[in-house]
A and B are shown apart, each in its own frame.
Chain A
Amino acid sequence: MNADRTLPWDWYPGRVPDNVTVDPGAYLETTYSFQLFRSAAADAVRIGRGSSIYLGVMFDVGSQGRVSIGEFTLINGARIICDAEVSIGDYCLISWNTVFMDTTRLPATVAARRKVLTAMATREPRRIEDATPARPIRIGRNVWIGFDACVLPGVNIGEGAVVGARSVVVEDVPPYSVAVGNPARVIRKLEPPKLTENV
């Protein structure tokens, strides 16, 4: 990163926001990923050593949202819709066009939704802030998520789990299991690494 928080290789004329920490050993492909970023939280995004964030990633993070990405995690494309907290562990592999949403942004009742939409139309820029409570998402270390998968609010995915392509994860996935389908179900278990292995 340059001193003015631009990226030497960036094609997009943006900067890395001040409350975003990118480890010197991490790779951030473009500041376009922060086009929808509006968090005012301290330490709003943290990208750990050895992690890479490619151009398909969009940090759609609301005013109080916080996203943490561990070490050696690879994210090719993810829409991170975050108003509270999305945390992704170390050694995760995350594919294209995935969605991680800790909030639906709009309330579940029709009357409340109408109120929020009416107010939004008068705002510039037109964004929805804190209209409904968010429920944090936690992805453990060594999780692999296939393309087009969606992870819905409040979901925890345990260490070592695999989520198949196009799956929609609506409930927690236990550690070392493979979950597939829409809605996702666990179809098999994986062998946890032995302590003697170098992990």
Chain B
Amino acid sequence: MSTTSSSCTSGWSHGPLPASVRIGENTLITADYAFKRFRSKQPDALRIGSHATMDGVHFAVGEGGRVSIGDYCYFTNAVLLCELELRIGNYVVIGWNATIADTDFHPLAPAERIADAIACSPLGQGRPRPEIAKKPVVIEDDVWIGPNATILKGVRIGAGAWIEAGSLVTRDVPPGSRVLGNPAQIVGEAK
């Protein structure tokens, strides 16, 4: 098990940041595993604003993925799975073990899934993978996302929304609303 605490007060204490990562003043990234799945080849692959705390976050960003995160965000052991684009605003809070993904990673059609399984296998080297749907995920300012929640591709979560723990969000969430459940439904206003 890797440790998530850090002795540094900002930056990342487990070596140099990948070249395509830019972080603002007083932003802290902990955990030695933060970039173990960071494979983006985009010039501006990960941009994080100032005063943010990324405690034990997995930045699993594919070759074409780009992630932007605003100021004063606070994520705890979140899993960010990005093949295209995650756009996250300011003052966003993401709880323990929540997952955000902008793709399903595999195609829906059965025949294409067989082709994908072969291409992903140790014997499939060089074989092209089928086209896989990707849609950006947008999380606006002041959103709170609880522990164990899941946000799927193409979702836009409006400013100030409250995503209850364990929710599975498959559709857009209007600003200021509170959602809950699997699939997540609007149950009221986020005070």
Contact = CB atoms under 8 A, between A and B. Distances in A.
Interface string A91-103: 0000001010100
Nearest to A169: B166
Contacts of A148: 148, 166
A183 B182 CA distance: 7
Contacts of B74: 117, 120, 126, 128
Nearest to B1: A32
B72 A118 contact: yes
Given A121-B72, A148-B148, A182-B182, A99 B96 contact: yes
Q: Closest 4 A-B residue pairs measured CB to CB? A: A168-B166, A121-B51, A182-B182, A150-B166
A124 B191 CA distance: 30
Interface stretch (B60-68, B107-115, B122-130, B139-147): B139-147
Given A117-B74, A152-B164, A168-B165, 15 more contacts: A79-B97, A81-B96, A99-B96, A99-B166, A108-B190, A110-B160, A117-B93, A120-B53, A126-B28, A150-B165, A168-B166, A168-B181, A182-B166, A182-B167, A182-B181
Interface string A74-106: 000001010000000000000001010100101
B181 A117 contact: no
Interface residues of A, number: 35
Interface in B54-113: 55, 72-74, 91, 93, 96-97
Contact of B91 (A117, A126, A128, A181): A117
User: Chain B interface secondary structure, helix, strand, loop or mixed?
Assistant: loop
Interface residues of B, number: 36
B4 interface: yes
B148 A113 contact: no
B42 interface: no
A152 B72 contact: no
A99 B165 contact: yes
A170 interface: yes
Contacts of B191: 108-109
Interface string A27-58: 00000100100000000000000000001000
Contacts of A135: none
Contacts of B23: none
Contact of B147 (A32, A79, A181, A182): A79
B148 A99 contact: yes
A168 to B, nearest CB: 4
B3 interface: yes
Interface string A124-139: 1110100000000000
A15 interface: no
Contact of A113 (B93, B181, B182): B93
B38 interface: no
B93 A182 contact: no
B168 interface: yes
Nearest to B178: A108
A114 interface: yes
7 contacts: A114-B72, A117-B93, A128-B74, A149-B166, A166-B166, A168-B164, A181-B182
A161 to B, nearest CB: 18
A21 B73 CA distance: 36
Given A118-B72, A120-B53, A168-B180, A104 B190 contact: no
A128 B72 CA distance: 13
Nearest to A124: B9
Contacts of B93: 106, 113, 117
Contacts of A55: 1
